[in-house]
Every structure is written in C-alpha cells, then in structure tokens.
Amino acid sequence: MDDSLKHAGALIGQSDPLIIISRLCYGGYSPGVKAVLDRAIGVSLPFFTWRGGQTHHIGRYPQRKLLRVLFYGDSTESERQTATELAERNRLNLGYKTAETLFFQNPAQIRGAIS
C-alpha cells in the first residue's frame, strides 16, 4: 500500500533502541500503534527458523539491543502481565536482544522515562 506506513518495517529495522509509546488497551497496544506494528512485517524475511522451541521468521536486520515499550493509562495486573508478554513476543519477532516494559498513569509521566 502506498501510504505513510509503507516504510515502517525499514524504520523499525534500523531503530536501536526502539521506543514504543502506547495507551494500554486491554493488555495490548492502541489501534494506531498496532497498525504500525502490523505493517512492519518487512523486518522479517519469508523464511523460518526454530528459536526457543518455536517457529519464527528469520530477521531481515541484524539483532538490535533494546525494545522499550511504555504504556500509559489505567490497568489491571492481568492487563500489565499480558502487555509485558506481548512486548517480549515483539522483542523476539522484531529482532531485539532485550525488552523493557514500563507502565505509567498518564502520558505526561513518560517524558522523564525517555530523556
């Protein structure tokens, strides 16, 4: 598709660290953030490998160091646990060595975490 997200995969593939900021929606990303990540399938090649007892796509880019996911908004413990597991899965699929997931009450609190 010829739109503003057509280079999402390349941009994510070159980002280290990759910082994702999203409202926490039922243990996942907000619809807009999820749309960007869905369009970033280009970080993977159409070939598979066996990692950690699971089948995964082979990465197009060298492994990067850090995926940092910053969620904000009200949440339950179960939603935070689901979000942490989601970030870990994204770390593996996007080709990052480590994932860090942090939670905040509102977006204003995030400024100190990324500076």
User: 69-114 pLDDT, tens per residue?
Assistant: 999 999 999 999 999 999 999 998 899 999 999 999 999 999 877 7
To the nearest whole number, what is the mean pLDDT of the chain? Answer: 92
- The Cα 77–Cα 37 span in angstroms is 24
Query: What number is the average pLDDT over the span 51-78?
Result: 92
- Binned at pLDDT 50, 70 and 90, residue 1 comes out as confident
DSSP-derived secondary structure for 77-106: HHHHHHHHHHHHHHHHHHTEEEEEEEEESS
pLDDT at 41: 86
pTM for the full model?
0.89
**Other residues' Cβ atoms within 10 Å of the Cβ of residue 106:** 10
Assess contact for 66 and 20: CB atoms under 8 A: no
Long-range contacts formed by 55-60: CB under 8 A, 24+ apart: 56/92, 56/93, 57/93, 59/94, 59/95, 60/9, 60/13
For residue 25, pLDDT over 90 is answered with yes
Give the rounded percent of residues in the chain with a pLDDT score beyond 70.
99
For residue 31, pLDDT over 80 is answered with yes
Residue 44 per-residue DSSP state: E
pLDDT at 6: 85
